[in-house]
Structure 1
Amino acid sequence: MTTEYSGSGDPKRSMELLWGVQDPPRRGPKPKLSVERIVRAAIEVADAEGLAGLSMRRVADELGVTAMSLYTYVPSKAELIDVMVDTVHAEEPRPAGSEEKDGSEDNDGSRSNGGGRAGLERLARENWARYLRHPWLLQVATSLPVLGPHLMAKWDRDLTAVDGLGLTEIEMDLVVSLLQDYVYGAVRSVIEAARVEQRTGMTSEQWWETYAPLLEQVFDPDRYPTAARVGEVSGEEYGAPSDPARSFEFGLQRVLDGIESLIRTRAAEPDRRSR
C-alpha cells in the first residue's frame, strides 16, 4: 500500500494553502482554476483510485487542463495531500434531528460533540464513517500533523466530549487519541476486506467455503483444542474468518467502558490539579 507523509512539502506554502492566505488578486482575466476545485478533484481521484493513482497529471486530466497549469495554485503533490486531509475533516455528517441533542451552534457554524460517553461514541462513529468515505486517509501518515483549520476545529470539538469531566488536559488529549487510534486500527480490517474482494474477486464467505474443507483435512483439533472450539463456533456465526464491523462495535463499547472507569476514578479523587 502506498504511504504518503503529511508535512513533507514546503511548510510555508502548505500553511498558506491550508489557511487561505493568498496574494491580492491581480488585474487580468479571471483564473480558470482555484485551490478548492483542484483539491476536490484530487479527493475524487483518491476516493476512486487510492493514493497510488493520485498525481498532479491525473488531477489535471480530471479537470481537463494541463499538469503545468496546476502548479500555479499548488506547488506539488505533498502540499496537495495536506490540504486534502484537512478538507475531508470539514465533513461531519450528523443523524437527522441530532441538533436538538448535540449542543448549541458555535459562531463558526460548527457544533460541539456534547460530553461524556455519548459524545465520545459519536466522534468515534464520525471517524469510522470518514475513513469509509475516504479510505486513502489510511495511507497518509500524520505523525507530523496537518495544521489546518478543519483539523484544528475537529480537535477542539473532540476535546469538548471530555471537557469538564475531571480529567487533566493531558488525559483529555490521551483519551481523544486513544479513541482515534482504536478507530484507525479497526477500520483497516473493513477496508482491507473490501480491497481483497476487489483484487481477487472472492468474498470472505467464498474464501471460507473454499478453504474450510481443505483445513479439515490437515487440522488436528486435539492439538489445538481451544482454537478448534472457538473456531467452530465463530466460523459458523460469521460464515467468514472474521466480522470486522462486529469487532468494531464490540471493541468500541469496551474502550468506552474503560474511559468511563477512568472518569469515575478521577471524580472520586479530591482536589486534582491540571498537569
Structure 2
Amino acid sequence: MATDFTAGADPARTMALLWRGPRDDVPRPGPRAGLDVDRIVATAVRLADADGLPALSMRRVAAELGAGAMSLYTHVPGKAELIALMYDSVLAGLYPEPPSGNWRARLTAVAQANWDLLVRHPWVATVGTGRPILGPNLMAKYDAELAAVDGLGLGEVEMELVTILVTGFVKGIVSGLHEKVAAEQASGLTEEQWWAATEPHLDRVFDPERYPTATRVGPVSGPELGAYPAERAYAFGLERLLDGVAAIIDR
C-alpha cells in the first residue's frame, strides 16, 4: 500500500496545531469565521475514510467545505501537516479506560483497539510514522500501551519493543485485509470470481512433484481458510505472539 509521510510536515507549525489550547469563547467583533482547524480535520478524515489518502488534497477538502483552497492554508500549512492532525485526531478516545486485567488481557485489549482503529480508518495503515509528530492523542496512546506491560519485570527498552511487536503485528494483518479489498475494487472481481478465472491456467502449469508441500497443504487449508483469512490469522498469531512475550516475562 502507498505510504503518506508526516515527516515532511513543519514540526513547529504542526506541534503548535496539535497542542493548541481550547478555543477562546469570548465573542469577537466582525463576521464569524467559516473555517477552523477542527472542521477541516474532521472533513479530511471523512474523505480519507471513503477514498483513502491518495485521493485527498487540500483543494478537495476546501471544495467539500465550500471554501477556496487558499483559505485552508491560513489554518493548516499543507497536506503533510493535515495528515499529522488527522492521524492524531482519530486516536482520541482509543482507550476510554486503561487496558485492565492480567498482562495477556491488557495486551489483547491493546491489539483489539489497534485492530478496530485500522478497520474503522483504513488510511491510518498508510500513514508513515517513522518520524511521528507527537500530538496529545498519540502520546496518550503511547502511554496507555506502555502501561499495559508495566510492572512485569521488563526493562524500559523491552517494554517498548513488546508494544511495537503487538501493534506492528496488528498493522500487518489489517494491511493485508485492506489490500484484498482494494484488489477486489480495482479488478471488479470478487475473491471467488478471481480464483475461478485463475484456476484453469494454474492447473496447466502446476507441477505437484515440484511443489509437494503446497500440493498437500493447499487443498486442505484453502477451502477452510480462503485466500487471506485475516481474522483467523489475527487470532492465531496474537496467541502465539503472547506466548512469546510470556517466555520473556518468565525468563
Q: Normalising to structure 1: TM-score of the pair?
A: 0.85
Q: Contact 1:16/1:22 (CA < 8 Å) preserved in 2?
A: no
> Which residue of the partner structure matches residue 228 of structure 2?
242
Shift, 1:9, TM fit: 1.5
Across the two proteins, how many residue pairs are aligned to each other? 248
Residues 143, 28 of structure 1: CA spacing in aligned structure 2 closer, same or farther, 3 A cutoff? same
**Superposed, which structure 2 residues align to 1:6-155 within 5 Å?**
6-21=6-21, 27-92=29-94, 110-114=96-100, 115-155=102-142
Q: Secondary structure at the match of 2:245?
A: helix
2-structure distance, mates of 1:2, 1:241: 22
Q: Contact 2:11/2:133 (CA < 8 Å) preserved in 1?
A: no
**Superposed, which structure 2 residues align to 1:91-240 within 5 Å?**
91-92=93-94, 110-114=96-100, 115-238=102-225, 240=226
AA aligned to 1:198 is Q
- Cα shift readout 1:74-109 (whole Å, capped 9, x = no counterpart): 11111111110100111427xxxxxxxxxxxxxxxx
Q: Contact 1:85/1:146 (CA < 8 Å) preserved in 2?
A: no
Q: Contact 1:208/1:241 (CA < 8 Å) preserved in 2?
A: no
Shift, 1:7, TM fit: 3.0
AA aligned to 2:242 is L
Q: Contact 1:6/1:82 (CA < 8 Å) preserved in 2?
A: yes
- Cα shift readout 1:158-202 (whole Å, capped 9, x = no counterpart): 111101111111111110011111111111110000111111111
- Cα shift readout 1:222-247 (whole Å, capped 9, x = no counterpart): 22111100111112223x33322211
**Superposed, which structure 2 residues align to 1:257-272 within 5 Å?**
257-265=243-251
- Cα shift readout 1:117-165 (whole Å, capped 9, x = no counterpart): 0110111111111111111112211100120000000111111110111
1-structure distance, mates of 2:205, 2:110: 45
Shift, 1:8, TM fit: 1.4
2-structure distance, mates of 1:210, 1:181: 34
2-structure distance, mates of 1:235, 1:67: 50
2-structure distance, mates of 1:262, 1:10: 40
1-structure distance, mates of 2:151, 2:110: 17
2-structure distance, mates of 1:23, 1:182: 38
Sequence identity, in percent?
A: 50
Structure 2: gaps (5+ residues):
none
Residues 49-58 or 5-14, more deviating: 5-14
Shift, 1:211, TM fit: 1.8
2-structure distance, mates of 1:2, 1:66: 28
Q: Normalising to structure 2: TM-score of the pair?
A: 0.92
Structure 1: gaps (5+ residues):
94-109, 266-275
